[in-house]
């Protein structure tokens, strides 16, 4: 079930930013009490601007996570965020996120010039963030890397390292070295997260059996439990709407 106390809005990026940005999104806890939630791994890198009744304004850069994590949304918590695809780590953020695998880094409150006042207008926040990202992009990115990520995301992780290596003419060893140095995990491990994420819509629709990307029922259940900590059936029931990414998906 979805939680009516959680207000969620998402804005897709302009087409030119799509290889680097998945979305700009907002989450607000409208309840007068804290909400216990579980955040599911989804393969994104999030730059988050937040405040609540209990916490002052702060900015966090969240690395890739491969385990479900429990957190608390304080009363009145307001979160604005940009969700990046992996090419943005090198070409927009211009850093390595290996040190924040399964964790986060506290950024300056004036990061990107988007201070607390930006939380007053979500649409304005997205417009400004997209503009800043566009200005940060290099004139000549490595097209081999962009093609690799395009193939990886299009397949939803259902592609081997060797297949990618053959298609982009980049050795499997070099690809894995790049992933480990830049993101803190192997390409194979990241692809598994994308396959897990791709199962969200089918589970939300009550299809508790493997469709694409999974060898059989046992493999499907094992992979969902590895990343979510619960079975596909428990995700589908989603008691109290506690699974954040899952609860925001529309049911068909």
Count of beta carbons in the 10 Å neighbourhood of residue 109: 13
Indicate the average pLDDT of the chain.
90
pLDDT reported for residue 1? 44
More confident residue, 199 or 146: 146
Rounded alpha-carbon distances, angstroms, from residue 8 to 4, 24, 81, 165, 242: 10, 11, 11, 38, 14
Are the CB atoms for 229 and 66 separated by under 8 Å? no
Grouping H, G, I as helix, E, B as strand and the rest as coil, residue 170 is coil
In this model, does residue 110 exceed pLDDT 80?
yes
Average pLDDT over residues 34-57: 92
pLDDT of 98 > 50? The answer is: yes
pLDDT surpassing 80 at residue 20: yes
Alpha carbon of 73 to those of 34, 81, 120: distances in Å? 5, 15, 19
Position with higher pLDDT, 179 vs 244: 179
The values of phi and psi at residue 181, to 5°, are -75, -40
pLDDT digits (tens, 9 = 90+) for 180-213: 999 999 999 999 999 999 988 888 888 887 666 7
Which range, of 20-34, 70-84, 193-207, 230-244, averages the lowest pLDDT?
230-244
Q: What residues contact residue 57 under an 8 Å CB cut-off, 6+ apart?
A: 49, 50, 51, 109, 115, 116, 119
**Confidence at residue 247, expressed as pLDDT on a 0 to 100 scale:** 56
């Amino acid at each position: 079930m979805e939680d009516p106390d959680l207000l969620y809005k998402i804005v897709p990026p302009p087409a030119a930013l799509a290889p680097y940005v998945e979305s700009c999104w907002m989450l607000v806890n409208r309840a007068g009490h804290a909400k216990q939630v579980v955040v599911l791994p989804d393969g994104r890198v999030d730059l988050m601007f937040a405040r609540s009744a209990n916490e002052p304004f702060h900015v966090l850069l969240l690395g890739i996570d491969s385990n479900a994590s429990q957190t608390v949304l304080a009363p009145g918590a307001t979160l604005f965020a940009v969700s990046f695809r992996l090419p943005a780590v090198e070409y927009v953020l211009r850093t390595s996120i290996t040190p924040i695998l399964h964790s986060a880094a506290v950024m300056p409150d004036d990061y990107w010039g988007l201070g607390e006042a930006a939380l007053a207008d979500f649409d304005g926040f997205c417009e400004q963030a997209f503009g800043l990202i566009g200005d940060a992009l290099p004139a000549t990115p490595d097209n081999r890397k962009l093609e690799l990520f395009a193939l990886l995301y299009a397949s939803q992780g259902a592609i081997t390292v060797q297949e990618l290596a053959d298609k982009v003419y980049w050795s499997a060893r070099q690809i894995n070295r790049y992933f480990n140095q830049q993101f803190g995990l192997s390409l194979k491990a990241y692809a598994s997260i994308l396959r897990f994420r791709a199962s969200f819509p089918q589970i939300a629709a009550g299809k508790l059996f493997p469709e694409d990307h999974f060898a059989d029922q046992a493999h499907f259940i094992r992979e969902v439990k590895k990343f979510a900590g619960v079975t596909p059936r428990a995700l589908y029931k989603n008691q109290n709407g506690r699974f954040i990414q899952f609860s925001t998906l529309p049911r068909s």
